[in-house]
Homo-oligomer: A and B are copies of this chain.
């Protein structure tokens, strides 16, 4: 575990893990035989992320491990590849039609729609390839978590809801349905994948999963708050776009003050879920608290 004298921000806390993930991502991303043009687009699609989800894999693995170090590193890469593919496809003209992501042109603006669709498909496929290539028996359980969280009853259901392609309950119930699937399911899976790699017991996997779900909801809520209040420079994407697109967000539903209060409540739920793990979970609690105070 990497110790720092003063962890003052999310970036400080994630930095050592994010650095490791960068190396692993670029080592495993492109298979031999991939056309150069596709490889370039795939690299572009994964560059520049905060690496929150893979860091959560590493943090839960460290908290509940040791064991299966290589598989945990692969799980971290896999969850980030799934996250990156989802951004690329969500940004497409037929979806959110966004032109700015991580402070740069979105993949379809840079490479055209066909390449953006295919690069996204390649990232999703590679996520499962990276796990399978481990040769480890536990890889199946890890892949199962990822597929469930990313699939038609998980992240994709969330995007279907966000695109108003399915019926939803009115008000906060509908928002929660969407965010649980679109954002929180994958963060929950990241936490569970790290725990599974660390050969944690069932109740421990459950505890970090509950933490991940509340953390994911809080993370999305604070994202909505930042979208409503921050500048493009600070957040690296088009701000205020949700409101202009007529999208329901926690801010449009609740107003800024009640949304902030709900964010605090979700953060406390995330921390409370970790109680069964005692001191081992200190850094996970700290991450939840720091995410509630981030400004970008």
The interface of chain A, by Cβ under 8 A from chain B, is 30-39, 42, 85, 89, 92, 94-95, 112-115, 117-118, 120-122, 124-126, 128-129, 131-137, 139-141, 143-144, 146-148, 150-154, 156-157, 159-161, 163, 165-167
Q: List 25 A-B contacts (CB under 8 A).
A: A31-B148, A32-B153, A33-B157, A34-B152, A36-B166, A36-B167, A38-B156, A38-B160, A85-B121, A92-B117, A94-B112, A94-B113, A95-B114, A95-B117, A115-B160, A122-B151, A122-B152, A124-B124, A125-B151, A126-B147, A128-B147, A129-B143, A132-B140, A132-B144, A139-B140
Give bound CA distance, A287 to B240, whole Å.
Answer: 58
A122-B156, A124-B121 are known contacts. Are A147 and B132 too (CB-CB below 8 A)? yes
Contacts of A122 in B (CB 8 A): 151-152, 156
Give bound CA distance, A150 to B129, whole Å.
Answer: 10
- B125→A150 contact, CB < 8 A: yes
Min CB–CB distance A226 → chain B (angstroms): 25
Min CB–CB distance A197 → chain B (angstroms): 14
Partner of A135, one of B35, B131, B140: B140
A128-B147, A148-B31 are known contacts. Are A114 and B94 too (CB-CB below 8 A)? yes
Q: What residue in chain B is nearest A138 (Cβ atoms)? A: B140
